[in-house]
Chains A and B, each alone.
Chain A
Amino acid sequence: MPTIDIRDLAVRFATDGGAVHAVRGVSLSVEPGRVLGIVGESGSGKSATCRAALGLLPSSATVSGSAWFEGRDLLSLPERELQHVRGRRIGWVFQDPMSSLNPVRSIGDQLGEAVTVHEQVGRGDLRQRVQKALSDVGFPAAERRLGAFPHELSGGLRQRVMIAMAMINQPALLIADEPTSALDVTTQSQILELLARVTRGSGTAVILITHDLGVVSRFCDDVAVMYAGRIVEEGPTVQIFGRPAHPYAWGLMGSLPSLATAGRLRPIPGSPPRLDHEPEGCAFAPRCEVALEMCATVAPRLEPEIDQTAHRFACHLGVPTRHAQATVLARAVEEAGAAAGRSV
C-alpha cells in the first residue's frame, strides 16, 4: 500500500489578475522506502502539489481532490488534526533553512519542541533524542552545540538541522522541496547523500521536489515530470532518463550543457505558458517541435505506452514520438559531431 496517494489534485490561486490554475489534476503515490522525484520548472506546480497535501497553502488557494495518508484524506482533515500529522508523521525540509528556523531560539530548543508538541517526553530522554537526531545527520560535536543559534551555523549545517528536525519523530513520509538549491555544489552532494542515508534505513517514503535533473537521476527511484500544472511523464528513473518519451522531457535533457554537448545547445523554444486560464489541448504544444494539429485542442491523458508498464506519459504522439525523437537526436548528434570536427 502506498504511504501517500494523491488523486486528482487541483490548486487554484485567486490573484488580482484573476485565477491561476497552478495544479490541474495531479495523481501520484509513493510506496514506503521509495524516493519520488518531482521535476519541473518554476510555476510547474511541483511545490503547490506538496504544500496542498500538507495544508500549507495560503488562504487564497482553492484545493480539490484527495490525498490519502495512513487511511485518512489529508485534504478533508480539520486543521487541528492535520497539525498532528504534520511534523509527527510527515516531515518536511524546504529550500531555505533560515526562513524555516526560528532565529531567536537555539537549535536544541527547536528540535526538542518538534518532539514535545506531539508527545510527552522526560527532560533527559528528550535531550538524548535531540542529540541523537543531530549526530545522525552528521552534526559535529552535537552534545556541545545544542545551544547554538541558527545564524551561527553555515548553510549546510542549517540544512542538516532541518533534516534532523524533519526526521526526529521518524515520519512515514518526508517531503523535501528544493532542499539543496540554496547550497553550494560541494555541500549539495553531502546533504543529498545524508537524505538518502537517513530515509533508506527507516522505510520512510520521500518526495523530493527539484528543478535539477542531475539530483533526480542520482537520488530518486521514480520520477514525475511536471509541466504547467500537470504530470506529463512518470516512471522509474532509469526508464525516464534512459528513454524519455514526452517531448518536454527530452527537450529538457537536450538543453543541458554537458561534456557531450559540443557547440550549440538545443534549447526548448519559447517560455512556459501563463496559467491564468486553463490551456486548451496540450500545454506544451506551442513549444513542441513535433506537435500535431490535434495537440492544440485535445489534452492528452497520462497513459502507459504499453500496458502494465509503470512508465506513463501524456502525449498524442505515442509510438511516433519515438520516431520523431530518434530523428531529432540523430540530427543533434550529427551537428555535435560536425561542430567537434570543426573545432579540432
Chain B
Amino acid sequence: MDEHESAPPLLAVDQLVRRFPVRQGLLGRRSQLVRAVDGVSFSVEAGAAVGIVGESGCGKSTLARCIVRLLEPDAGRVLFDGTDITHLNRAALRPIRRRIGVVFQDPFTSLDPRMTVGEIIGEPSEIGGIGSATERRARVARLLGLVGLSAADEARHPHEFSGGQRQRIGIARALCVEPRLLVCDEPVSALDVSIQAQILNLIGDLRAELGLTLIVISHNLDVVRHLADRILVMYLGTIVEDVPALDAFRRPAHPYTAALRASMLVPGVAPLDDGPATAIRGDAPDPFDPPSGCRFHPRCPYAIERCAQQDPGVTHLAPAHSTRCHLPLLDDGSTTVPA
C-alpha cells in the first residue's frame, strides 16, 4: 500500500458544484436554481472500486456526468491522472475521453437502433481514430467475446437482443477505447433480477481481468456493496459518509446510511411483525430549499438543536472512514452524545 501513497489518485474531485435552473410557473418565467451537486470532494486511487449510493435526486448521476464531462460543473475541479480536465476544450479532452468508459442505466434507449452491434461497439474507436479499419474490426470481435456475446452478433441490431444482452453491448462499447476508469450509472436497475447477477458478475470479472478502476452508481446499497470496496453515500447534493463497503452495513456512522441499510428488504424468513423497517420518516426535502444546518436533520431520529443550525463538517472516524454528522453513530448503533 505504502508505495502507492505518493502517486496521484487516478481521479480527484475537488469542491464540485453543479446547479440547474428549473423553470417554474405557467409560462416558465420564474427560474430557480437547484444545487444538484453542492461542494463534493473525493478521490479514487488507480485500481479501486468506488460505489456512490443515494436516492433519486441526491445528485449521484449529475456528479457522474460532471466527472466524465457530459455536464459542465459550475465550480470546483475534476483531476484525471493529475490533469485538471474541468475546463479542457473538445480537442484537449479527446485523449482523456479515451481513458474513461461510461455504462448507462437504460440499455433500451442508450443504443442507436439503426446501427449494427458492431458499429455501436466500434464507434468510439472510430471517432477517436484509433487503429486501422482491420484493427478496429478485430477489436470489436474481441470485445464481443469479452462480454459474452458471439461473433455472429456483430451484424445484428439492438432490438434483436434482450435487456441483459443490450447491457453487455453497452459495456463492450464503453470498453472499446480501453479505458482505465469505467463509470457505471445504475448498470442493472433496468434489468430483471435473474439477469442482474449476470451483469454484476461481468463487471466484476472485467475489473479483475482488465485492471479497471471502477465507479458504480446505484440507489441499491447491495449492488454497490457487491462491486465496490468503498462507498460514498450522497444526500441532497453532498457526500454524508465515505466508508469501506463492509462497514456501510456493519458500522454505518451517519444516520442516513443506517436508514438506507435498514430499508433494504433482505429476502429471507422474516416475521411480519418485527417493527418498522426504518426509523426515518417523511420524504426527501425540497431540493430548491434544502434544510438549514445538516440537510438530513428534519428526518433524523437523533437530531439535536445544533443539527438545525450548524452544517456539520467532515469528521474522520478512521483513516478510510469519514462522515458529515454532529453525532456519528457508534459501532453498537448508539449516538456519541447521550440523549
Contacts and interface: CB of A to CB of B under 8 A. Distances in A.
Contacts of B201: 264-265, 267
A186 B260 contact: yes
Interface in B134-179: 162, 164-165
A238 B269 contact: yes
A214 B205 CA distance: 26
Contacts of A185: 55, 219-221, 260, 263-264
A167 to B, nearest CB: 19
The CB with the most chain A CB atoms within 10 A, among B165, B226, B260, is that of B226
Contacts of A142: none
B278 A189 contact: yes
Contact of B194 (A156, A255, A258): A255
Contacts of B270: 217-218
A84 B165 CA distance: 45
A222 to B, nearest CB: 12
A341 interface: no
Contacts of A265: 197, 200-201, 226
Interface residues of A, number: 47
A186 B219 CA distance: 11
Interface in A257-299: 257-259, 261, 264-269, 271-272
Interface residues of B, number: 43
Given A185-B219, A212-B265, A218-B277, A252 B260 contact: no
B275 to A, nearest CB: 9
A111 to B, nearest CB: 20
B222 interface: yes
B192 interface: yes
A252 B196 CA distance: 10
B158 to A, nearest CB: 15
A271 B263 contact: no
A186 B278 contact: yes
A36 to B, nearest CB: 14
A5 B256 CA distance: 43
B309 interface: no
Interface of B: 55-56, 162, 164-165, 192-198, 200-201, 204-205, 219-223, 225-226, 249, 259-260, 262-270, 272, 276-278, 280-281, 283-284
23 contacts: A42-B192, A154-B283, A184-B56, A186-B278, A186-B284, A188-B263, A189-B276, A217-B266, A221-B272, A238-B269, A241-B267, A241-B268, A242-B269, A252-B194, A255-B193, A256-B222, A259-B225, A265-B226, A266-B197, A267-B195, A268-B197, A271-B162, A272-B194
Given A184-B283, A212-B265, A218-B270, 11 more contacts: A41-B192, A184-B56, A192-B277, A196-B272, A216-B267, A218-B265, A218-B272, A257-B223, A264-B205, A267-B196, A271-B164
